[in-house]
Amino acid sequence: MTISVAIIGSGPAGCYTADALLKSDVDVQIDVIDRLPTPFGLIRAGVAPDHQTTKKIQKKFGTTLADPSVRYFGNVDVGRDISLAELRDMYDAVVLAVGAPYDHKLGISGEDKTGVYGSASFVGWYNAHPDLRDLNPALDTKAVAVIGVGNVAIDVARVLVKDEAEMADSDLPAYAAKAIQNSPITDVYIIGRRGPIEAKFTNVELREMGKLEHCVSLVDADQLPDDVGDVDLSDRDKRLKERNLNTLKEFANSKPNDKPKRVHFVFYASPVEILGGDKVEGLKLERTKIEEGRAVGTGEFFEIDCGLVIPAIGYRATPVEGAPFDERRCVVPNDDGRVDDRLYAVGWIKRGPTGVIATNRPDGEIAAKHILEDVQSGEKPGRSALKKLLAKKSIQVVDIAGWQKIEKIENESAKPQAPRLKFETVDDMLAAVNGS
């Protein structure tokens, strides 16, 4: 009998899992459930709006979701509309692919002031995630501190300093474009506790910061070593570090006043306090030095005047009711993707928030392999039971045809160079699906 699999989450990890199951020659019925009407997780709501080439993988995943063996159940929140226990009763196997959508806290004083927004919230805001559309960040400041030295920090800085023309071929929503273009921001500080060699930027993203129309990237030459030194890395990773160092050396030669805006890379600086009254007025930092690979404080402090602080220090998951949770690592504990009897985890909820979209592909392949090893033949009703329960609860499910309607309207409403004009609220998405 057909094996029924429910995948909770339609981000890369969920879609790669569906893909891997489809490639097997076993008869499987796959239902992909997402809390939002729109699929694809952080591809839609995390990847920067001006990096449309990266978002093109949505097309491939759209084909996966439209496969005759797959059904998309959008606008169904597991936890609110249906429980994990109910799904496990209905399906032969259930896969958790819910990601890690929340911010880690900095854990310093002043973090509750107006003007502090974690990157998960801020990125969700400028990507029109319906939960964050109303964040309304206080952008009435000349200077911004972005804490963290990975690609997300660079994305945030870049989106804040590009002008309207540079964002014309993006899907930045109009409310975010207006707020950013009307803001007086001229200086963005990207701050890392450790040094340039330890920074996690990829070189393509870092180099892009040297090619902005109205913004120069700057770094203090004294913070750059002559070479990457004797690092314990693969040749490939060492080459990446060398390329990053060379790019930063170019930035060290930039002139601050060549262009009206500046991104400052600040290394060896650990935030200790967010300053101000109710609203952010500055950031106090302690100079650090590296000892045995760790950043340690030197006792020397300095301040950056800024009205906005965006910690980009990593994402975290929260527990899924009915599944175990490792509070320290913020993941569902698993043995190579196996969580419990016929319950599996893939992607960021399995491994934590690291890697690129393609890093989730092996997770999907491994989960599919385990499922087909553990479940020899289907015993549970799967889709028919899910449909019945959702109908009983009057949940408006957005299926693949519904998503395609949303996508068509978004594409057709876009300005000439832009790929789409995103819907901003779930109500508007549902109205579009209903044809109203």
Ligand X SMILES: Cc1cc2nc3c(=O)[nH]c(=O)nc-3n(C[C@H](O)[C@H](O)[C@H](O)COP(=O)(O)OP(=O)(O)OC[C@H]3O[C@@H](n4cnc5c(N)ncnc54)[C@H](O)[C@@H]3O)c2cc1C
Provide the binding-site residues for ligand X, judged by CB under 6 A.
8-14, 33-36, 41-42, 46-47, 51, 54, 77-79, 97-99, 101, 123, 152, 155, 315, 347-348, 355-357, 359-360
Residues 192 and 265: their CA atoms lie apart, in Å, by 8
Report the residue number, 11 or 402, with the smaller CB distance to ligand X: 11
Report the residue number, 123 or 177, with the smaller CB distance to ligand X: 123
Report the residue number, 77 or 164, with the smaller CB distance to ligand X: 77
According to DSSP, the β-strands at 3-8 and 28-34 are parallel
Report the residue number, 218 or 331, with the smaller CB distance to ligand X: 331
Report the residue number, 81 or 92, with the smaller CB distance to ligand X: 81
Output the smallest distance, CB 197 to ligand X, in A. 22
Residues 4 and 16: their CA atoms lie apart, in Å, by 17
**DSSP helix/strand/coil, 21:** helix
Output the smallest distance, CB 11 to ligand X, in A. 2
Report the residue number, 72 or 251, with the smaller CB distance to ligand X: 72
Output the smallest distance, CB 175 to ligand X, in A. 19
Report the residue number, 258 or 336, with the smaller CB distance to ligand X: 336
Output the smallest distance, CB 206 to ligand X, in A. 13
Count helices and strands (H / E) in the chain: 15, 16
Output the smallest distance, CB 65 to ligand X, in A. 12
Residues 226 and 375: their CA atoms lie apart, in Å, by 56
Residues 234 and 203: their CA atoms lie apart, in Å, by 16
Residues 96 and 323: their CA atoms lie apart, in Å, by 9
DSSP state of 78: B
* Residues 6+ positions from 394 with CB-CB distance below 8 Å: none
Residue ranges of alpha helices (H) inside 104-225 are 119-126, 151-161, 174-182, 203-208
Report the residue number, 276 or 347, with the smaller CB distance to ligand X: 347
What distances in angstroms separate CA 268 from CA 148, 193, 218, one per listed residue?
11, 5, 15
Residues 115 and 283: their CA atoms lie apart, in Å, by 11
Residues 329 and 221: their CA atoms lie apart, in Å, by 36
Q: Quote the radius of gyration of the chain (alpha carbons, Å).
A: 23
Residues 223 and 295: their CA atoms lie apart, in Å, by 14
Output the smallest distance, CB 413 to ligand X, in A. 22
What distances in angstroms separate CA 351 from CA 100, 207, 220, 312, 413, one per listed residue?
10, 29, 35, 19, 38
Report the residue number, 98 or 215, with the smaller CB distance to ligand X: 98
CA 250 to chain centre: 29
Output the smallest distance, CB 224 to ligand X, in A. 26
Output the smallest distance, CB 322 to ligand X, in A. 11
DSSP state of 12: H
Report the residue number, 115 or 347, with the smaller CB distance to ligand X: 347
- Decide: 347 and 11 in contact? Cβ < 8 Å: yes
Output the smallest distance, CB 354 to ligand X, in A. 8
End-to-end CA distance of the chain: 41
Output the smallest distance, CB 50 to ligand X, in A. 10
Output the smallest distance, CB 97 to ligand X, in A. 5
According to the 3-state scheme, what is the secondary structure of 233-287? CCHHHHHHHHHHHHHHHHHHCCCCCCCCEEEEEECCEEEEEEEECCEEEEEEEEE
Report the residue number, 152 or 161, with the smaller CB distance to ligand X: 152
